[in-house]
Structure 1
Amino acid sequence: MVQGFDYPMSNLRIAILVSDKDEHNAILDYVQRLPKNSRSGPPVQVLYREKDLGIERLDRKDDNVQRNRRRLLARLRNFLLYSTLRDEDFVFWIDSDMIEIPSDLMSRMARSGKDIITTPARFGPNGHFYDLNAWAGDRIKPNAEEQKTIEEGGIFVPRHAAVKFAHDLEGEFGHLDSVGGTVLFVRSEVHKEGAAFTTNYVIGSGWKHEGYDGIETEGLCYVAGFLGYECWGMPTAITIHSDK
């Protein structure tokens, strides 16, 4: 898919993070079996980082696993970022479940001059829009009882008050308060200056308790905003996520 992008392959490096040993070995085996004349393209670095919460794939969207699941995703993203980022102009994040990305998307994002950009993602070619972590607007704050539950380690599910998602925006680019991670463009200086993927709910947190919102990709925009950077969505650049 990446080799199909209309971006100079000589300017790219691919870094893949795998947290399953069998999949890691399968990737290495696949690369080694390729004919030598098929190994053209960007250099590929494969990292193995063993982290497993024991969450079944079908259960990964359950409310009671989101805190630990997204904390782990943030840790893995940051590990990959800090282990591989060198002097690149930008980082182009692709979720492992993505199956279709417009060939000109990377080039358009790079030319835009914008700091952080994401796109709407459909769940399968004809499915619903999948990545609802990309939004602009207001989220509901916990009431006093819910805040007490949070401070005691209980579950609070962030809820939308009045938001527009990436696919609701108009024009080529629209401003976002939060991004998802299915396809995500980040200028490297944004990462290098400290905007990474937050490993806890940073909004509403205290020294000794978790907050109620702003973890992982959503926290990226929260931190970047204080550094003077902005997040954007490209509503017409539809990408396709696997429906499996």
Structure 2
Amino acid sequence: MDEPLLEAPVVILTPIKDCASHLPAYVERIEALRYPVEALSIGLLESDSTDATWPLAQSLVERLERRCHRVSLVKRDFGFNMPAQVPRWMPAYQKARRTTLARARNHLLFSALRDETWVLWLDVDVIRFQSDLIQQLLATGREIVQPHCVTRPGGPTFDRNGWTHHGTRWLENYRGQSLVRLDAVGGTVLLVKADHHRDGLIFPAFRYGVSNENVRPVHSCWERGEIETEGLGIMASDMGIQCWGMPDLEVIHAPE
């Protein structure tokens, strides 16, 4: 693989909310990345936290600035919080929760992206990944690609927003293959060529793709069309861009 590609400018974008317990370790993982300082930037957007996420993030900027070329930290509240003790996956709250997350991702993208060649979306609660993760994703030569997010090595797929066959198959079904085509993507870890974002590829905060043959069928709690990261995957398809997944490149998400 061409060496300049593996050192192309990358901005890591991470939406943060109620994650004070994860932030210090997140910074440590960024510090451990084997990627050139001059080619790595960070963008964080905090919204609607009820814990100490915002002041803690402010206090960690100096450390990130020592590791990265540029650091962007912004605050943008959207006025949405899950009710106490309600799991974030509860169907009744999915549309509101993921609409808000899509808006947060888009606001972060538009505020933090400068002249970078690639965007790496990285959730704050992905607790373990390879120090050369960026290089491994770039080396695929694909313009939208995600690793396999699990909560334990060899375990079932955690980020089930990356799927094929109308949402019935995930990366766990393709182990042993280095790369597979995906119809929708997850956002726990996702590499996107930045020019696709510049060309209009966003995280829809609305049902997108009602006429696309890859969207899931209507069922009792889900209208036709995809939202947020899955909507991005369908939008990429409409733009003529193929999404990919790496079933055997595992990253570990904190258990829920």
TM-score range, shorter chain: 0.7 to 0.9
What is the Cα deviation at residue 123 of structure 1? 2.2
Provide closer, same or farther for how the CA distance between residues 105 and 81 of structure 1 changes in structure 2, counting only shifts above 3 A.
same
| Counterpart residue number, 1:117 | 145
Q: What is the percentage of aligned positions where both structures have the same residue?
A: 32
What is the Cα deviation at residue 226 of structure 1? 1.7
Aligned partner of 1:203: which letter?
Answer: G
Matched, 1:215 2:227: yes
Contact 2:43 2:108 in 1 (8 A): yes
Matched, 1:182 2:182: no
What is the Cα deviation at residue 9 of structure 1? 2.1
Segments of structure 2 that go 5 or more residues without pairing to the other structure are 1-28, 212-221
TM-score (norm 2): 0.76
- Partner of 1:235, secondary structure, is strand
Pairs within 5 Å for 1:16-95: 16-19=44-47, 20=49, 22-31=52-61, 40-42=66-68, 43-55=70-82, 56=84, 58-95=86-123
Provide closer, same or farther for how the CA distance between residues 189 and 218 of structure 1 changes in structure 2, counting only shifts above 3 A.
same
Contact 1:119 1:234 in 2 (8 A): yes
In structure 2, which of residues 125, 136, 147 is the aligned counterpart of residue 97 of structure 1?
A: 125
CA shift digits 1:73-114 (9 cap, x unpaired):
000000000111111110000011110111222112123221
Aligned partner of 2:71: which letter?
Answer: V
Matched, 1:240 2:252: yes
What is the Cα deviation at residue 31 of structure 1? 4.2
What is the Cα deviation at residue 193 of structure 1? 0.8
Which of 90-99 and 19-28 deviates more?
Answer: 19-28
What is the Cα deviation at residue 58 of structure 1? 4.0
Provide closer, same or farther for how the CA distance between residues 235 and 57 of structure 1 changes in structure 2, counting only shifts above 3 A.
farther
**In 1, Cα distance between the equivalents of 2:136 and 2:85?**
33
**In 2, Cα distance between the equivalents of 1:119 and 1:95?**
13
Contact 1:166 1:234 in 2 (8 A): yes
Contact 1:202 1:211 in 2 (8 A): no
Moved over 3 A (4+): 124-128
Segments of structure 1 that go 5 or more residues without pairing to the other structure are 139-159
Aligned partner of 1:49: which letter?
Answer: R
Bigger Rg, structure 1 or 2: 1
| Counterpart residue number, 2:165 | 137
**In 1, Cα distance between the equivalents of 2:102 and 2:230?**
10
- Partner of 1:83, secondary structure, is helix
**In 1, Cα distance between the equivalents of 2:61 and 2:206?**
36
What is the Cα deviation at residue 6 of structure 1? 2.2
**In 1, Cα distance between the equivalents of 2:186 and 2:243?**
11
**In 2, Cα distance between the equivalents of 1:96 and 1:17?**
11
Which of 61-70 and 120-129 deviates more?
Answer: 120-129
What is the Cα deviation at residue 128 of structure 1? 3.8
- Partner of 2:165, secondary structure, is strand
The alignment covers a number of residue pairs equal to 213
Provide closer, same or farther for how the CA distance between residues 57 and 168 of structure 1 changes in structure 2, counting only shifts above 3 A.
farther
**In 2, Cα distance between the equivalents of 1:228 and 1:127?**
32
TM-score (norm 1): 0.80
